[in-house]
Amino acid sequence: MSVSSLDEMREVEGASRMLKGSTTPRIYTAAKRDLTPETSLGFAVTEFAKTVLKEPLLPWQEWLAIHALEIEGDLQALVAVPLPYRARACGTTAG
């Protein structure tokens, strides 16, 4: 599964609830390569949240985990200190 297929996957999994907004932030540092389970530990975090915690991440949290936990071949993180910025009311208002 790649990051580009996350939105397609969400359409199938989240068909019962309507999510608004964009998963991809307006400003971010692009990944050095395609992000897959072999190149990002974020996929493992997402799976852990779903299977063990029984609490799936929100779409923006999933995107952040996948991009912030990008790794090189020797499991060295490519991002030393991820600095996410999120609007205060993001995902908390109804309507």
Q: Of 53, 27, 38, whose CA–CA distance to 3 is shortest?
A: 38
Within 8 A by CB and 6+ apart from 82, the residues are 64, 67, 68
Q: How far apart are the first and last CA of the chain?
A: 31
- Cα R_g (the chain), whole angstroms: 14
Query: Where residue 90 falls among pLDDT bands split at 50, 70, 90?
Result: low
Q: Are 40 and 69 in contact (CB under 8 A)?
A: yes
| Residue 29 DSSP one-character state | P
Q: State the pTM of this model.
A: 0.68
pLDDT 10s digits, 8-48: 445 545 545 676 778 888 888 888 889 999 999 999 999 99
Least confident of 21-25, 42-46, 61-65, 73-77: 73-77
